[in-house]
Amino acid sequence: MNIHRCYPLRNLILGAVLTVGFASSALAQELRAVLVDLNSKEVTNLGTLGGDLSYASGINDLGQVVGTSSTDKGQRHAFITGPNGAGMTDLGTLGGDFSYPNGINDAGQVVGQNGNGYAFITGPDGMGMLDLN
């Protein structure tokens, strides 16, 4: 017998928006993670950590989103938002050039890997990245 559980996310879904613009004859592209509320039809642009891209890789029941964003120096760092996608916090890298989250639980603990190839976990609400190797 297979049992499938559905966990309501309060009708929130993750998406991405690619914007293309022309600035001084150069083609500019930005990829932004967005959170869509299916009830109100509101789209929340999650922003970036100063660079030109972000993408989401997980969401919990509170609407906290994790993903990766470019910084103003071109590095890619894991991020977490507050409930309902509010605010973006840089989770850091533990010394490497990048970090990528793989998931988030309902306590806001994030798991992923950093640029050194090591797995990490954070405390609740993304606090204190800990190397698991």
Predicted pLDDT of residue 4: 35
Amino acid letter, 105: N
Q: Where are the domains of the chain?
A: 12-131
Quick one: how far is CA 55 from the chain centroid?
A: 6
Structure tokens at 117: 């190839």
Residue 10: DSSP 8-state: T
- Phi and psi for 126 in degrees, rounded to 5? 75, 10
Q: Enumerate residue ranges in the chain where pLDDT < 70.
A: 1-29
Predicted pLDDT of residue 117: 83
